[in-house]
Amino acid sequence: MTRIVFLGTPEEAVPTLDALAERFQVDLVVTRPDRPRGRSGAPQAPAVKQRASELGIDVAQPERRSDLGPAIAEAGDFDLGVVVAYGMILGSEVLELPEKGLLNVHFSLLPRWRGAAPVARAIMAGDTMTGVTVLKLDEGLDTGPVLTAQAVDIRPGENAGELTGRLSRLGARLVTSVIPGYVQGDIDPVPQIDDGASYAEKITAEDRQLDVAASPVEFVARVRGLAPDPGAILAIDDEPHKILAARESDWSPEPGTWELHDGAPVVAVREGGVELVEVHPPGKRPQAGEDWARGRRRSRGTVG
CATH code: domain of residue 65: 3.40.50.170
Structural domain boundaries enclosing 17: 3-200
Based on the fold, state whether residues 245 and 182 are members of the same structural domain: no
Strand partners, 61: none
Residues 223 and 190 in one domain: no
Q: What is the DSSP string of 64-81?
A: SHHHHHHHHHTT---SEE
Closest C-alpha among 261, 262, 274 to residue 304: 274
∠ at Cα 20 (15, 25), nearest 5°? 150
CATH number for position 252: 3.10.25.10
| 92, 139 Cβ separation under 8 angstroms | yes
Mean pLDDT of the chain: 96
Q: Residue 210 falls within a domain, yes or no?
A: no
pLDDT of residue 42: 85
User: ∠ CA 131-179-193 to the nearest 5 degrees?
Assistant: 45
- Same domain (yes/no): 196, 220: no
Q: Tell which residue, 238, 222, 223, has the closest CA to residue 278.
A: 223
pLDDT in tens, 36-76: 877 777 899 999 999 999 999 999 999 999 999 999 999 99
Domain identity same for 254 and 126: no
User: In this predicted structure, which of 13-27, 34-48, 102-116, 273-287 has the lowest mean pLDDT?
Assistant: 34-48
Q: Same domain, yes or no, for 193 and 297?
A: no
Between the alpha carbon of residue 253 and those of residues 212, 264, 272, the distances in Å are 12, 12, 8
- The answer on 231 and 280 residing in a single domain is yes
Structural domain total, the chain: 2
Least confident of 121-125, 222-226, 248-252, 295-299: 295-299
Q: Using one digit for the tens of pLDDT, what is the confidence trace for 216-243? A: 999 999 999 999 999 999 999 999 999 9
Q: Do residue 107 and residue 249 come from a single domain?
A: no
In a domain, 209, yes or no: no
H helix runs in the chain, sequence order:
14-23, 47-55, 65-73, 92-95, 118-124, 160-183, 216-226, 289-296
Which among 102, 145, 118, 143 is positioned nearest to 12, based on CA atoms? Answer: 118
| Residue 56 CB partners (closer than 8 Å, separation 6+) | none
Asked, for residue 206, whether it belongs to a domain, the answer is no
Ranking 39-43, 206-210, 246-250, 282-286 by mean pLDDT, the lowest is 39-43
Could you tell me where the DSSP H helices lie in 149-254?
160-183, 216-226
Looking at the structure, tell me whether residues 138 and 287 fall in a common domain: no
Same domain, 151 and 33: yes
Residue 16 within a domain: yes
**Based on the domain organization, do 55 and 124 belong to the same domain?**
yes
Same domain, 131 and 275: no
Cα-based angle 268, 201, 109 (whole degrees, multiple of 5): 100
CB atoms inside a 10 Å sphere around CB 149: 16
For residue 207, being part of any structural domain is answered with no
Task: Mark whether 240 and 183 lie in a shared domain.
Answer: no
What is the model's pLDDT at position 36? 85
Residue 208 resides in a domain: no
Task: Please report whether residue 205 resides in a domain.
Answer: no
- 103, 212, 213, 282, 299 from 273: Cα distances, Å: 45, 9, 11, 23, 15
> What pLDDT score does 104 carry?
98
Residue 238 DSSP one-character state: T
Domain boundary among 200, 232, 265: 200
